[in-house]
Amino acid sequence: MADSPQFFDEAAVRARLRMPDLIEAMQKAVVEFSAGRVQQPVRTVLPFGEKGSFFGVMPCYVPSLPALGAKLVTLVPGNTARKLDTHQAVIVMLHPLTGMVKAILDGRYITEARTAAVSAVSARLLARKDARVLGILGSGVQARSHLEALRLVRDFREVRVWSPTAHRLQQFAAETCAGAMSSPEAVVRGADVVVTVTGSHTPVVHNDWVADGTHVIAVGACVPTQRELDPALVVRARLIVDSVAAALKEAGDVVMGIAEGRWTADHISAELGELPARRDDREITVFKSLGLAVEDVFAAALVLSRSGSA
């Protein structure tokens, strides 16, 4: 008789994932992906329910672990009014030999944490070594996880934050000691690393606000009809993505510029898993993050290893 699958709720996942270890795991994950050593299609995305809601299916097989799994994830903007997280997810891990269900993990926190950990990998590779000012646009769970992760790879002396929702901005600032700013421009001007974790459909970062040498991490706008960055900034910057195939299908910050004739697919300089390095202190770098199934599978495997069931 086969053993019943293990179940890990959010508390159990949190207890087994430490951000420093997760950052290292995410670097291994993106390297495996870009080296072509994992089997992973671009996610399937299905619109459903109220406008702006999406259901994504993200399978992946990683022979090197070995691990086989899939994340089922929903994005429901209306959940904010319901006092629920906009992203909900579950990760199903399967036995890589038999295909039998091995474990079911709450994926909401894994999505939150692994996204920030991947951004930290990008900052470790591409932000200037002397980066001291961090600017965050957004005040939700991703803003919090990014603050935690990015502080592990650079010694920030100042953190600025802006959000269109005043009470959430003040709460975030009070709980993290970040400086609450009156506008996105006040966050971005003079910042060394800028993170966009908003639900905006239109650019929140304008080109003329961004100084030479800045590293920009664009996490929101994960559908092809939305973008968070001024296209003039993308033209000016060296563009790094997590997956070229996914970026050319899903990332509005990439595909809208191509459709408008501003650049071609060749403007993508590298995938993060190729471990690109900063060329000089004046270079502007943009990392466009979409999130990959391989990251979820590596994170879930890390949880299982901490429970003795890897």
DSSP assignment of 87-101: EEEEEEEE-TTT--E
Confidence label for 222 from pLDDT (cuts 50, 70 and 90): confident
Q: Is residue 16 part of a domain?
A: yes
Distance CA 2, CA 163 (A): 49
State the average pLDDT over residues 211-222: 94
Distance CA 123, CA 121 (A): 5
- Looking at the predicted structure, is the pLDDT value of residue 193 above 90? yes
Let me know whether 172 and 276 are in one domain: yes
pLDDT of residue 51: 87
Cβ within 8 Å of residue 206, ≥6 positions away: 185, 188, 230, 232, 233
- Looking at the predicted structure, is the pLDDT value of residue 139 above 80? yes
State the average pLDDT over residues 40-45: 92
Confidence label for 221 from pLDDT (cuts 50, 70 and 90): confident
Which amino acid would we find at residue 46?
L
Residue 106 structural domain: 6-111+294-306
Q: Is residue 127 part of a domain?
A: yes
Which pLDDT tens digit goes with each residue over 248-269? 999 999 999 999 999 999 999 9
pLDDT of residue 200: 86
Q: Is residue 89 part of a domain?
A: yes
Which carries the bigger pLDDT value, residue 310 or residue 83? 83
**CB neighbourhood size of 52 (10 A):** 15
pLDDT of residue 309: 63
Confidence label for 80 from pLDDT (cuts 50, 70 and 90): confident
Cβ within 8 Å of residue 168, ≥6 positions away: 139, 140
* Alpha carbon separation from 84 to 77, 107, 200 (Å, rounded): 10, 15, 18
Domain CATH number, residue 246? 3.40.50.720
- Looking at the predicted structure, is the pLDDT value of residue 122 above 90? yes
Let me know whether 134 and 156 are in one domain: yes
Q: Is residue 151 part of a domain?
A: yes
Which amino acid would we find at residue 210?
V
Q: How many domains does the chain have?
A: 2
Let me know whether 98 and 137 are in one domain: no
pLDDT of residue 2: 59
Which candidate, 56, 57, 65, 58, places its Cα nearest to that of 29?
65
Distance CA 299, CA 303 (A): 6
Q: What is the DSSP string of 262-295?
A: S--GGGEEEEGGG------TT--EEEE----HHH
State the average pLDDT over residues 132-147: 96
Let me know whether 278 and 212 are in one domain: yes
Distance CA 274, CA 93 (A): 27
Q: Is residue 244 part of a domain?
A: yes
* Alpha carbon separation from 178 to 132, 134, 152, 208 (Å, rounded): 13, 9, 16, 24
Q: Indicate the burial class of 308 (C-beta count within 10 angstroms; 0-12, 13-18, 19 or more).
A: exposed
Let me know whether 278 and 302 are in one domain: no
Let me know whether 122 and 242 are in one domain: yes
- Looking at the predicted structure, is the pLDDT value of residue 1 above 60? no
Torsion sign, CA atoms 305, 294, 196, 48: negative
Let me know whether 55 and 136 are in one domain: no
Q: Is residue 1 part of a domain?
A: no
Residues above pLDDT 70, as percent of the chain? 98
Which pLDDT tens digit goes with each residue over 279-306? 999 999 999 999 999 999 999 999 999 8
Domain CATH number, residue 84? 3.30.1780.10
Let me know whether 93 and 133 are in one domain: no
Let me know whether 266 and 302 are in one domain: no
Let me know whether 57 and 125 are in one domain: no
Residues above pLDDT 90, as percent of the chain? 88
Which pLDDT tens digit goes with each residue over 146-166? 999 999 999 999 999 999 989
Q: Is residue 77 part of a domain?
A: yes
Both tokens of residue 225?
A: 């009809």
- Looking at the predicted structure, is the pLDDT value of residue 310 above 70? no
Q: Indicate the burial class of 281 (C-beta count within 10 angstroms; 0-12, 13-18, 19 or more).
A: exposed
* Alpha carbon separation from 138 to 31, 161, 180, 183 (Å, rounded): 28, 7, 11, 11
Kindly report the pTM of this predicted structure. Answer: 0.94
Let me know whether 158 and 228 are in one domain: yes
Let me know whether 249 and 164 are in one domain: yes
